[in-house]
Structures are given as structure tokens and as C-alpha cells.
Chain A
Amino acid sequence: MDWDQFDLNPRTVAALKKADIKSVKEILNLSGADLQRLMKLSSADVQCLLKTVSRALRRSSVVTALQLYQDKDHLTSQSQKLSLGCSVLDNLLKGGVPLVGITELAGESSAGKTQISLQLCLCVQYPYKYGGLESGAVYICTEDAFPSKRLQQLIGQQHKLRADVPAEIIQKIKFGNSIFVEHAADLDTFQRCITRLSLLLARGMVRLVVIDSIAALFRCEFGLSESVTKARYLQTFGAQLHSLSTRFRTPIMCINQVWHRNCCLFYLINGWRMVVHTLSVVVGNRVAPALGITWANQLLMRLMASRVSLPGQASGVASHCTGSVRTLRVVFAPHLPPSSCYYTVQLEGVRGIK
């Protein structure tokens, strides 16, 4: 570290070099008294040093909330979001998925989570004008194989789903080329995936990361007694993903399973999923997203997808729908009230129902 570039007293610079302090982080990790002892400087000098390195680290000028509000530049504005490709779903989320932060989509099996994620991978490739980010997506599969056949179906039907976009624009986008699929069945492979991610993000080739699913990575490897290790992994991955999301203004969508609150056996054994699904029907819909509060602390927003059998479903609503009706619910988000909307999974993709 070249200390001469800072606006420091030569005596302080000499003391820094003598004490072999190599980075600003090392200085800030020590208290004022420790620095005095280590570098044999007076307290006034040490205070001056701390203020100077802090100023250098926090170079950016202060921003007021008014400036944030009035910022309409699509590269920096908070109001820029990733559309889900359907106006009803976008209205639920007040524009779409926020660009900075980890969004979780939790739900029972076959609630439509993978469908929504695939749709997002296509939406991200549209121009900014149509709610996209003009870039590709990374899809990390942790349990099942990537549903490439379904993706081809969706690509073929994009003109039907996105009637708001002119046909020439849809034809120009090579959807399949910009979706990078990774498989990571265990934590080490996942760690390597994340390292590769930062390269793709730095090159601007992707602006969306989907992890399907995060729960599968942790289900088999940790018993109930290893919760401390598991928590540490969750926090490390959460922090890495959060940091990537902030640096590259890229939304990270994590799919999560749910587990029945009274049945923790589900946590350990994969094959019990079918049994739990039956149990939850019997006991009532008391499901909670997996991975607990450690993972929930890393999230910006949590959405829950579920299949709901409504009494009035047969009439009107479902008559023109091929699939059953599902619910997308906002569990928590700093900018959204707890609300929900209905949707169905069609051939062309996920469509909200007004």
C-alpha cells in the first residue's frame, strides 16, 4: 500500500511503514489506543490518521433521499426493476424484481417456482424499455436437470406472452444463447459456481442469477447437530451473493422449498417430500420456508407460491385456464405490503389473473 498517496504527515507515513501496516482495513481494525501503542504516535496524530483513511475510503459524496427519488437514470435508479413479463404480477411487486438484493421464491413442489424463474430468464433479455436488462441469465440447478424442453417451448411462445413488445424485437433476441446453465449438487461445486459468476457479471454478459434451489444444497449434508456449520455456510453464501448483487446491480432469485412446521424429518430425507405434501393437506397449510432465520436474514424480499384449491375455482376463473390456479404472495419486502395475486401456468408462460 502506497501511503504517500494519502494526505498524511511524513512522520505518520514512516510509522506506518515501520509497523508494517499494509492496508486501510488493518488500520480500521485497530482501536485508537492500539494504534498509538503500535506506531508510537500521539493521539492527535492517530485521530488524524483515522479520519484521513476513512475519508479516502468513503470518497463518494453524500446522497440525499431526494436525489435517490429523482434519479431516473436506468443505470442507477432505484425505480428500475426487472419485469416478470406479466402486468398483473408486476403490479403486485410494484414494477418487478428489485435489482439489488436477494429475492426468494419459496413454495411447495409444483407450485410454479421453476416456471416463474424460467420466465424471468427470458424477460431479462428484453430491452430496458420493455422491463428487461438487455443481458443474459445464469441458472444454477442444484437438484433436478435443467428443464430445457420447457425453455424451448417458452421461447417459441414469447410473442404470445409478450404482446406488448413488437414482433421484430422478439425475433432479434437469441434467447437460448444468453442463458448459462450450471449444475451444482454440493457446497464445494456451488462455491466454485459463485466464483465463476463474478467473471460473467464483470463482463456484463448476465444480469440475473437464478438458484434452483438453495434448500437442496443444505438438505442432505447437515444433520440437526451441525446447525452452527450450516449457519456459517448460509451466511457466507448470502454475503457473497449480496455483494455480487450490489456490485453489479443484478437481481439474485433463490428458489426455496417449504417444510411442514411440525415435521422436521423432511429436513433430512429427500424421499419424504411426497409424504409431507399429503401431511400438509391433512393438518392444514402450516408450511414455512426451509433454512430458517439464518437464511431469512440475508433476504431483501420473500415471495411464496402455492397451489390453492378455491371453492369457486371451477366457474369463470378456471374455465379458460389449462392449469390449476396458484397464488403468489408477498411475505415480506421493505417496499411492499403483504399482498397476493392469482396466476396460472399456461403454455406460453406464467400469467397473473386479475
Chain B
Amino acid sequence: MQREVGSLPLAPSLRARLAAAGFQTAQELLETGPCGLSKEIGISKEEALEALQVVRQECHGGAARTAGGSGTARKFTALELLEEEQAQGFIITFCSALDNVLGGGVQLTKITEVCGAPGVGKTQLCMQLAVDVQIPECFGGVAGEAVFIDTEGSFMVDRVVDIAAACVQHCQLIAEAQQEEDHLKALETFSLESILSHIYYFRCLDYTELLAQVYLLPEFLSEHSKVRLVVIDGIAFPFRHDFEDLSLRTRLLNGLAQQLIIVANDHKAAVVLTNQMTTRIGQSQSTLVPALGESWGHAATVRLIFHWDNSQRLATLYKSPSQREATIPYHITPHGFRDVQPPAVTQNAGGTEVNPRKRPRREEEKQ
């Protein structure tokens, strides 16, 4: 009831009039009533009634709303945040070197950007992640679903079928070696058809459709609450032509980034974007840099750059808040995104090839 007038979701002109008339809290507004309000600030009675309805809704419905609206701020201590982050799942990439460099895999609630020249493997990684996000928890996955927003038309479902079949086979091998109840039970529902049916595919032909699709994402993710991955392949393509006004492009990209951050946080999903490379021409030489400009570099939390060294593909972790910069080699095989050599099988007590990629829990170490 002591809400400040300035924080209420009213039209700015209305707020200005209320401030000019001397109203400071929501309580004062409600006490004045519609007739008094319309006389005091010179609006019609209908408008005053509407405004008071909004105020009442705000004051009584405040508890149910999530953050992102006006006002209610959640308070956390750093310890709570640390515990939350450690319990956070990762989406593994099946390339253990890359998972190690990322600290476990692609992190949920963060935006990861993958940049690279054409043909280096960005779309392959996206397809791999769309399959890997669905791995059941007993195999070390997050048991989620995936949204794939395609702007270039490079999503070839036959390739996804190959990747998904290899992933199912990998889990079957683990289950056979382990012979545990929950592994076999999970495999009953983890099949090629179920994987394909949980990848939601959207095709956007230009940047307006992409913006519209991102506005609709929160609603879609509320309906499909198991989605843990949103892929946009690629973010640069619709924004790199047709823009005489580059400041408009920067504004739109900033808005897009903000919405994606909200989506990632509210729905505990990982957002993966792919970006192109462009040539920056310096005084004496030219270098390849990620496209969309300098300000776009701030949008992603984690930035990976894929590049070639002769015929070896390399992935460099270029930007990360918690991991060191590192470069590792990787392969694209018919089964998907993989390490260069098969990873050494570590024999933990009851551990499998897949489990060591999970971050160790602090509670276990304390014991």
C-alpha cells in the first residue's frame, strides 16, 4: 500500500500528472477515489476508474508476480546463489575436452555464443546439444526439451537422426555395462522418436519474425515447462543485410539480448546462439572477428570461437565469467560432435564414462 506512484504500471503521462498534483503513494490514490482523482488531475472518470483498478491489482497481486515486472525485487544472499549455481545442471556436448573447458558443459540460465567461419561445426554443435539436453538424469543429463530457432535453413533433420541414434546407442552401452534399474527404465522412454518429438523447430525468415518469435518464447516455455535449451541458429544472418540504420540494429540486438537473458533465468534454460565471422580491416592486416559489432560482444555470458588450424578444428573459450581461456581440438564424426581421441575411461567407485562430467557436489567433499 505504500507503493510509490512512480513505480506503478501506468501510462507515463498519467504518472507525470499524478506527480505534479502531489500524489506520492498508492494509498493516497485509493483514498481519493475516482471522482476526486478525475477532478484533481483533470482526466475523465473512466480513465480514473481504470487507473485505480490497475493500482488495486498491483497492490494485491504483488506477491504472485515474478520479477521482471515493476517493483518486487527478490533478495538472495551470495551463499544461496552459490548453492543454486552448484546444483545447476550442464548440457554435455559429448566432447569431454570442450565440457572440461566450459566447466562441465553448456550451463543453464546463461547465454552461450558460438562464433566461427562457415563449415567449422556451429550448427553441428547446436544439433548435438538439442539431442544431449534430453539425456535422462541417471545418465548425467538434464532430461529437458529443446527449442530450435532456425534463421538460415541449415537444420537438416537427417543429420539430427544420426546424432540422436548415436546418443541412444551410447546410453544403451552404459546401461548394459551398469545393469542398474533406473538406467533400464530411463531407456524405455529415451528413443529416437521421443528425442525428435521433443525438439521444437521454428523457422524465421527475417529479423521481424525472429523478434516476434522471441516475444512469444516466454509463453511457449511456460506451456512447455520441460524446455531447457533454446538455440538460435544463427543470430547474425537476419541482421546483416537490410540495415542502413546501424543504431536501430544495435537497439534491436540489445533488446533481443535482454529478453533472452530473462527467458534463460525465468525458465532455467540454456540459450545458445551462433554468430558469423567478419573481417576487420586494420592498418596493415585484416583479422576475423565475430560479426554484429562490439556492443553485441556483451550480450553473451560465454563466448566460444571455432576455427581451423590447417585441417584440425579448434574451439577457443574466449569469454567466460568463471573458466580460463583455453583452446581444445574437436572432431565432427558421423555420430556428431566428439573428442579428437576417445577420452580415458576414469574408474570412479561406481562411476561411468558419463558421470565424471558432472560437477562434484560440495556436500560430498565435506564428508
Contact = CB atoms under 8 A, between A and B. Distances in A.
Contacts of B314: none
B10 A42 contact: yes
B9 A300 contact: no
Contacts of B225: none
Contacts of B148: 65
B20 to A, nearest CB: 16
Interface string B238-269: 00111000001001100100000000000000
Contacts of B255: 31
B54 interface: yes
Nearest to A57: B212
A101 B154 contact: yes
Interface in B159-200: 159-161, 193, 195-200
A270 interface: no
B344 interface: no
Contacts of A54: 211-213, 215-216
A28 B208 contact: yes
A58 B201 CA distance: 13
A293 B279 contact: yes
Interface string A97-110: 01011000000000
B154 A227 contact: no
Contact of A64 (B161, B196, B252, B278): B196
A31 B259 CA distance: 11
Interface stretch (A118-126, A131-139, A233-241): A233-241
Given A100-B153, A297-B118, A334-B124, A58 B212 contact: yes
A64 B200 contact: yes
Most buried by A among B11, B13, B251: B11
A292 B279 contact: yes
A300 B152 contact: yes
A238 B118 contact: no
Interface in B1-52: 9-13
A319 interface: no
B158 A78 contact: yes
Most buried by A among B156, B200, B213, B242: B156
Contact of A58 (B117, B216, B248): B216
Nearest to A295: B118
Given A25-B208, A65-B160, A299 B118 contact: yes
A53 B215 CA distance: 10
Contact of B288 (A37, A58, A293): A293
A345 interface: no
Nearest to A50: B215
Contacts of B202: 58, 62-63
A300 to B, nearest CB: 6
Interface in B251-305: 251-252, 255, 276-279, 281, 288
- On chain B, which size bracket covers the interface? 35 or more
A302 interface: yes
B81 interface: no
Nearest to A95: B158
A16 interface: no
B238 to A, nearest CB: 8
B312 to A, nearest CB: 13
Contacts of B153: 100-101, 242, 246, 300
A18 interface: no
A293 B307 CA distance: 13
A321 interface: no
Interface in A289-322: 292-294, 296-297, 299-300, 302
A299 B255 CA distance: 28
Interface in B189-238: 193, 195-202, 205-206, 208-209, 211-213, 215-216, 219-220, 236-237
B156 A297 contact: no
Contacts of A236: 241-242
A36 B241 contact: no
Contacts of B124: 334
Contacts of B157: 65, 68-69, 78
B144 to A, nearest CB: 15
Nearest to A337: B334
A44 B281 CA distance: 45
Contacts of A43: 9, 70
Nearest to A247: B205
Nearest to B69: A43
A334 B54 contact: no
A58 B213 contact: yes
Most buried by B among A227, A294, A332, A334: A334
A302 B119 contact: yes
Contact of A294 (B130, B160, B198, B278): B278
B201 A293 contact: no
B205 A293 contact: no
B47 to A, nearest CB: 10
A331 interface: yes
A239 B242 contact: yes
A74 interface: no
B123 A334 contact: yes
Contacts of A299: 118
A83 B237 CA distance: 28
Interface in A51-82: 51, 53-55, 57-58, 62-66, 68-69, 78-79
Contacts of A29: 208, 248, 252
A94 B241 contact: no
Nearest to A98: B156
Contact of B212 (A28, A238, A332, A334): A28
Nearest to B146: A65
A215 to B, nearest CB: 17
Contacts of A292: 279
Contacts of A69: 157-158, 160-161, 196
24 contacts: A24-B208, A29-B252, A36-B12, A37-B12, A40-B11, A43-B70, A51-B219, A62-B220, A65-B148, A65-B195, A69-B158, A101-B152, A227-B279, A236-B242, A238-B241, A242-B153, A293-B117, A293-B118, A293-B279, A297-B237, A297-B276, A331-B119, A333-B119, A335-B158
Q: Which 8 A-B pairs have the closest CB atoms?
A: A332-B119, A335-B156, A54-B212, A66-B196, A65-B199, A66-B197, A54-B215, A235-B241
Given A293-B117, A294-B279, 7 more contacts: A31-B251, A64-B199, A68-B157, A292-B279, A293-B279, A334-B123, A334-B124
